[in-house]
Chain A
Amino acid sequence: MSVLLPGSLAEALGSLAADPDLVPMAGGTDLLVHWPQRTELHERSYLDLSGVEELRPHRWEADELVLGGLTTYWDIIEDRRAWNELPLLIDAARQVGSVQIQTRGSWAGNIVNASPAADGVPVLMAYDAVVVLDSTRGRSEVPLSGFYSGYKEMRRSPDELVTEIRVPRRAYDVQIFEKVGSRRAQAITKVGVAVTRSDAGWRVVANSVAPFVCRCPAVERILEEGAAVGGPDDLLPGIREDVSPIDDIRSTAEYRENVLARLLYYDLLDLCPSFG
């Protein structure tokens, strides 16, 4: 195993350009799971980003919150402004694993890890976040909602690193995040959903119900149109158009689909008198 330890972003990008097979590593909270047993991983070459200090800080601009490429969940939990302005980021962050994971896991890492069950991605997507990627070739910006094209397939070239995540600052009148796991902490999401409404319209983002975290356009349409929803089952056709949950070791397709419908129905009923 070899590991490169760049001290700057330029150095990191240069190394990646020279060898796109390098595996970038940040907090290690996914890569190091069962590390001693996964001996095949010890053969590879890694690009360790932990020394690239410039990627860590996040900043509040006039119209957006900019997360750094190494900003952790805990960095945001410690930021009062996030609690007030972008509370779904907090809801999601505090339900990632545990404190010990939140202090090490990064939002960007969660994005490029591309798990269908990723917990940071739905809320970022519901906030219309934009992923900023840098390489020696330049910069590219991709809306998170268009970042994934398949299971673990994303619009990131091997020589690119996520250096920023830009989250618009907006007024929202609906903000919902639900994570359903097997227990209240340290749980992989069985089904999750993030919902926002602002002047930009409705955003409904589901995780663990498709090969990648995705917006639910059919459900969003139902909400935009203000259609009458008499019960959770009325949402199922839209859900079935948007997502394709499966049976796996943690849960079943039937459970995921039904619970997604029920969460949406009851939570929206609680928040929006006009719904249902």
Chain B
Amino acid sequence: MLRREGLSKLTGQERYVDDLPLEDFLWGATVRSPAPRGRISNIVFGDGVDWSEFVIVDHTDIPGRNAVYLMEYDQPALAPGYVRHVHEPVLLLAHPSREVARRALREVQVIVDVDPPALDFRSLPSPDLIQYGEDNVLKRLSIQKGDVERALAESPIVVEGVYETGAQEHVYLETQGMLAYLDDDVLVIKGSMQCPYYVVKALKPALNRSEEEIRVIQTPTGGGFGGKEEFPSMVALHAGLLALKSRVPVKLIYDRTEDMVATTKRHPSQIRHRTGVDENGHLIAQEIEVVMDGGAYVTLTPVVLSRAIIHAAGLYHCDNVRILGRAMFTNSVPYGAFRGFGNPQAHFAVERHMDVIADRLRMDPVELRRINMIRDGQTTATGQVIGDGVDRLQIVDRALALSNYERRRREHWLRNSEHRYLRRGIGMSAFYHGAGFTGSGEVMLDSRLHVEGHPDGKVQVLCASTEMGQGQITIFIQLAADRLGYDPAEISIAEPDTHRVPDSGPTVGSRTAMVVGRLVERACDDLCRQAGAARGAPVKDAIIAWHSAHPGERLLGKARYEPPPGIEWDEENYLGDAYGAFGWAAHVAEVEVDLRTYGVRVLDFVSVQDVGTVLNETLARGQVQGGVAQGISWALLEECVWKDGAMQNGQLTNYIIPTSGDLPPIRVEFVEFPYEHGAQGAKGVGELPLVGAAPAVLNAVAAATGRQPTEIPLTPERLMALLGNGDR
């Protein structure tokens, strides 16, 4: 099935929040802290502006709790007197003219008595930098299996490595934006978001309003990647506060630079590996320390850390594993969800480290992976028994075959010795990603979904899942059509409007097709039951007939999340079944390093993915290609330049994502191992491809140059330093 809203997007008719026709409204603007830490001593309003023309909101205008609720109430909506990061929102302005509002931003001075900021998450904070608990540790987690101390002591060979990844900015092409207005007593929020109910949950305590008094509607969203999981609650709250004070609609659209410097990014990480192996490459012990920059407010950091440590040992079997995870408070702009959610960081480290181990043992990195890859019946670091019947070795073999791995390796060896300055290399990664929320997360979400049958026989799916390009609308229509035996043209997806749709949970965590899609199917089943559709008989007729018999009533099929049987997770000790299902994959990257410029070009990229049943080939392939592209880019191009906690390169000129000329065709193949509890056997697809891209690229660079890079982005400047300005 073709993308349902594809034509609308291709013709420019799809209306994003800034496209909505609007009259008599105000443009919002945000005044922010210039300093990373300190007390606001004064706010000075410049003389050159007629401030009476403005609506001005500060923390005293917040009717309820001054917090943007997510996991905790620690993040203020507007700084009440103390600031903890640069660009922290302090005041809101609104004016009918966008230009005047922009000018006014320069005329407000927020004066801060600065305190020394904690800006390096890697080093232990000195006493004057402690701002969270006793040691600035936002979250600590650990996983233990076997006896790592003893096993390391007994290992013939121990290989150590430290791996670092930097922040990554989402660069969704549509920036953050919200529209807020009052409809009688109801505050209506429309805008770009992934999770309408997260926004409701944040607005309720801050505005002292009930769910009936807040209505959140997702508009077509131009990219999210996690960057619109939590941050929209802040933007919505700001727009809402302005609208409540002015009693006039308010539109708050972030400029690109503002969006880049002031919103969430991927958590930076430093991950240490100490691995005990025998001479044949068998993993005996894995000791891993994961440290993350947790920024100035908690946001989702504990869950990111959680996913990171769960996956940190890679998809290998090892009897002795200890993983210690720590997220540090710093006075950095808060970090948040970004596709992969801690797992890309974890897998960059472990997959890079596997090649380092192979190099040390003079072993083939492929062989090292083969002999250690987890088999059905073996347990992960958390003690979860893997038994899904997925042939992981087949995935690896397929990736190697498609990429002509062996032949290319030989060709490179010859070619590299002949060419003056070009060096080619090929490298792989093998990786996995748990689909859905960790452990009991899905139970806590308690997702619900409705499917409505209308009097004309047409059917509509009502859920809070959002389309942001990944194909949710199309997939849900397909699933419903297949389940009901319908022509897809007779099925639609309701606009995600919290006054009309139930809470099917956030659109994150690779859960939409697998978990929520399953709810679509079950709600369709319930619809059939409610309509009294006889087995094998056309459902449409039954729906029409039902409505004739029940004029004026609604016919809703309902479903509520039920956990698959046999999942047991011990949150306290981090033991057991972390996820109901895992997606497995292998990437192979071929690169060319130019020793004149130290530039790395990716020549070819192959990805073989197991995502269970592939529901829609074009959409799934698009997800893989897009995820791979973001991973390659994170590995080679994207770097936040920081000064005193502020991003200096908040422009697309200076924060580099790839153009069409910077990527090769990304070749994708799926191997299908259906997951019985996912919709039609589907597992998650959104995040998996990004997880293994960076280490595959760096492993290829290592093969090309004979050096071991350990830090990304591997910019040409870093590669030059690594190679020591020598020719090889």
With both chains docked as a complex, state the minimum distance between the C-beta of B655 and any C-beta of chain A, in angstroms.
Answer: 10
Let me know if B129 is at the binding interface, CB within 8 A: no
CA distance A98 to B662 in the complex (A): 13
| Residue in B98, B99, B659 whose Cβ sees the most chain A Cβ within 10 Å | B659
The answer on a CB contact under 8 Å between B255 and A37 is yes
Question: What DSSP secondary structure best describes chain B's contact surface?
Answer: loop
What are the residues of chain A within 8 A of B651 when measuring CB–CB? 34
B599, chain A: closest CB distance, angstroms:
7
Contact, CB under 8 Å: B654 / A36: no
With contacts A36-B255, A39-B99, A262-B597 taken as known, whether A249 is within 8 angstroms of B648 at the C-beta atoms is yes
Q: How far is the CA of A249 from the CA of B103 in the complex (A)?
A: 26
A231 contacts across to B, CB distance below 8 A: 727
CA distance A187 to B656 in the complex (A): 9
Which of B255, B595, B659 has a CB less than 8 Å from the CB of A185? B659
- Encoded as 1 (CB less than 8 Å from any A CB) or 0, chain B from 631 to 672 comes to 000000100010000001101011010111110000000000
In residues 38-64 of chain A, which contact B (Cβ within 8 Å)?
Answer: 39, 42
CB proximity to A under 8 Å, residues B180-205: none
**Residue in B99, B103, B420, B662 whose beta carbon sits within 8 Å of that of A183 in the complex:** B662
A252 to B102, CA, bound (A): 34
Tell whether A251 is near chain B: CB-to-CB under 8 Å.
yes
Q: How far is the CB of A69 from chain B (nearest CB, A)?
A: 26
List residues of chain A with CB within 8 A of the CB of B662: 183-185
- Tell me which of B103, B596, B637, B725 contacts A182 (CB under 8 A): B637
CB-CB nearest in chain A for B639: A182
Scan residues 63-100 of chain B and give those whose CB is less than 8 A from a CB of chain A: 98-99
- Contacting pair A266 B106 (CB below 8 A): no
Q: Report yes or no: B658 in contact with A262, Cβ–Cβ below 8 A.
A: no
In the assembled complex, A180 has its CB within 8 A of some CB on chain B: yes
Q: Mark B592-617, 1 if CB is under 8 A from A, else 0.
A: 00011111000000000000000000
Find out whether the CB atom of A36 lies under 8 angstroms from the CB atom of B99. Answer: yes
Q: B596 contacts A263, CB within 8 Å?
A: yes
- Closest approach, in angstroms, between the C-beta of B175 and any C-beta of chain A? 13
- Do residues B257 and A37 form an inter-chain contact, with CB atoms below 8 A? yes
Contact A255 B716 (CB under 8 A): yes
Give Cα A39–Cα B104 distance, bound, in whole angstroms.
10
- Number of B interface residues at 8 Å Cβ cutoff, please give it: 33
Indicate whether B493 reaches chain A with its CB closer than 8 angstroms.
no
A37 to B98, CA, bound (A): 10
Query: B257 to A183, Cβ gap below 8 A?
Result: no
Complex Cα spacing A263 to B421, Å: 10
Chain A positions 153-198 with a Cβ under 8 Å from a chain B Cβ: 180, 182-188
Q: How many A-B residue pairs have CB under 8 A?
A: 74
Most buried by A among B98, B648, B651, B662: B662
Count A interface residues, CB 8 Å. 30
**Are A255 and B720 touching (Cβ within 8 A)?**
yes
Give the chain B neighbours of A186 by CB distance below 8 A. 653, 659
User: What chain A residues lie within 8 Å of B53 (beta carbons)?
Assistant: none
- CA–CA, A185 to B653, complex, Å? 11
Contact, CB under 8 Å: B637 / A183: yes
Interface of A is mostly: loop
Contact of A39 among B102, B595, B596 (CB under 8 A): B102
A266 surroundings in chain B (CB, below 8 A): 420-421, 595-596
Confirm or deny: A3 has a beta carbon within 8 angstroms of a beta carbon on chain B: no
Contact A183 B102 (CB under 8 A): no
A249: chain B residues at CB < 8 Å are 641, 648-649, 654
The answer, yes or no, to whether A269 is at the interface (CB within 8 Å) is: yes
| Interfacial chain A residues near B134, Cβ < 8 Å | none
Q: How far is the CA of A39 from the CA of B641 in the complex (A)?
A: 25
Q: A250 at interface (Cβ–Cβ under 8 A)?
A: yes
Closest residue of chain A to B717, judged by CB?
A: A255
> Are B659 and A184 in touch, CB under 8 angstroms?
yes
- A74 vs B716: C-alpha distance when bound (angstroms): 30
Collect the chain A residues with CB atoms within 8 Å of residue B660's CB. Answer: 185
**CB-contacts of B691-718 with A (<8 A):** 715-717
How far, in whole Å, are A42 and B421 apart by their CA atoms in the complex?
A: 49
CB distance from A129 to the nearest CB of B (A): 26
Is A258 in contact with chain B by the CB < 8 A criterion?
yes
Complex Cα distance A63/B336, Å?
62
Instruction: Determine whether A25 belongs to the interface, using a CB cutoff of 8 Å to chain B.
Output: no
Closest approach, in angstroms, between the C-beta of A38 and any C-beta of chain B? Answer: 9
**Which residues from chain A contact B106 at a C-beta distance below 8 Å?**
39
Across the interface, do A37 and B102 meet the contact criterion of CB distance under 8 Å? Answer: yes
Complex CA gap A85/B681 in Å reads: 62
Q: Which residues of B contact A258 (CB under 8 A)?
A: 720, 725
Asked whether A259 is an interface residue with its Cβ less than 8 Å from the other chain, the reply is yes
B654 touches A269 (CB 8 A): no
CB-based contact B596/A250 at 8 Å: no
Question: Which residue of A33, A37, A185, A259 contacts B598 across the interface (Cβ within 8 Å)?
Answer: A259
Closest to B421 in A: A266
B530 to chain A minimum Cβ distance, whole angstroms, is 53
Contact among B597, B637, B661 for A259, CB-based, below 8 A:
B597
Report the Cα distance A262→B599, complex, angstroms: 12
Shortest A36–chain B CB gap in Å is 6
Which residues B95-122 have CB closer than 8 A to chain A?
98-99, 102-103, 106
Q: Are A262 and B596 in contact (CB under 8 A)?
A: yes
Contacting residues, chain B, for A34 (C-beta < 8 A): 257, 651
Within 194-248 of A, Cβ neighbours of B (below 8 Å) are at 231
Q: Mark B552-588, 1 if CB is under 8 A from A, else 0.
A: 0000000000000000000000000000000000000
List of A residues within 8 angstroms of B598 by Cβ: 255, 259
Are B597 and A180 interface neighbours, CB within 8 A? Answer: yes
Q: Which residues of A contact B715 (CB under 8 A)?
A: 182
The complex places the Cα of A145 from the Cα of B649 at a distance, in Å, of: 32
- Nearest residue, chain A, Cβ from B103: A39
Inter-subunit contact A252/B103 (CB<8 Å): no
Rounded to whole Å, the gap between the CB of B294 and the closest CB of chain A is 26
- Rounded to whole angstroms, the CA-CA distance of A185 and B661 in the bound complex is 7
Query: Which residues does chain B contribute within 8 Å of A254, judged by CB atoms?
Result: 717, 720
Please give the distance in Å from B126's CB to the nearest CB on chain A.
28
Closest CB in chain B relative to A217 CB, distance in Å: 23
> When the two chains form their complex, are residues A36 and B102 in contact, meaning their CB atoms are under 8 A apart?
yes
Q: How far is the CA of A65 from the CA of B580 in the complex (A)?
A: 70
Residue of B102, B595, B596, B716 most packed against chain A (CB within 10 A)? B596
A128 smallest CB distance to B (angstroms) = 26
A184 to B727, CA, bound (A): 24
Contact call B648/A183, Cβ cutoff below 8 A: no
Q: Are B599 and A180 in contact (CB under 8 A)?
A: yes
CB closest chain-B residue, reference A188? B653
With a CB–CB cut-off of 8 A, which chain A residues contact B648? 249
Chain A residue nearest to B649 in the complex (CB): A249
Inside 8 A of A252's CB, which chain B residues have their CB? 717
A180: chain B residues within 8 A (beta carbon)? 597, 599, 716
Q: Which residues of A contact B421 (CB under 8 A)?
A: 262, 266
**Docked-complex contact B656 and A183, CB < 8 angstroms:** yes
Cβ contacts B299-337/A at 8 Å (1 or 0 each): 000000000000000000000000000000000000000
Residues of B within 8 A of A267 (CB): 596
Complex contacts, B98 vs chain A, CB 8 Å? 36
Min C-beta distance of A250 to chain B, whole Å: 7
Q: Distance in Å from the Cβ of B642 to the closest Cβ of chain A? A: 11
CB contacts (< 8 Å) of B599 on chain A: these are 180
Q: Inside 8 A of A270's CB, which chain B residues have their CB?
A: 420
CA of A258 to CA of B725, assembled, Å: 8
B595 touches A262 (CB 8 A): yes
Given A39-B103, A185-B659: 13 more A-B contacts, CB < 8 Å: A39-B99, A182-B637, A182-B715, A183-B656, A184-B661, A184-B662, A186-B653, A187-B656, A188-B654, A249-B641, A266-B421, A266-B596, A267-B596
29 contacts between A and B (CB under 8 A): A36-B102, A37-B255, A37-B257, A39-B99, A39-B102, A39-B106, A42-B99, A98-B659, A180-B599, A183-B637, A183-B659, A184-B659, A184-B662, A185-B660, A185-B662, A186-B653, A186-B659, A188-B653, A188-B654, A231-B727, A249-B654, A255-B598, A255-B716, A259-B596, A262-B595, A262-B596, A263-B596, A266-B420, A269-B420
Give 5 nearest A-B pairs by CB, closest first.
A184-B661, A262-B596, A182-B656, A185-B659, A39-B103
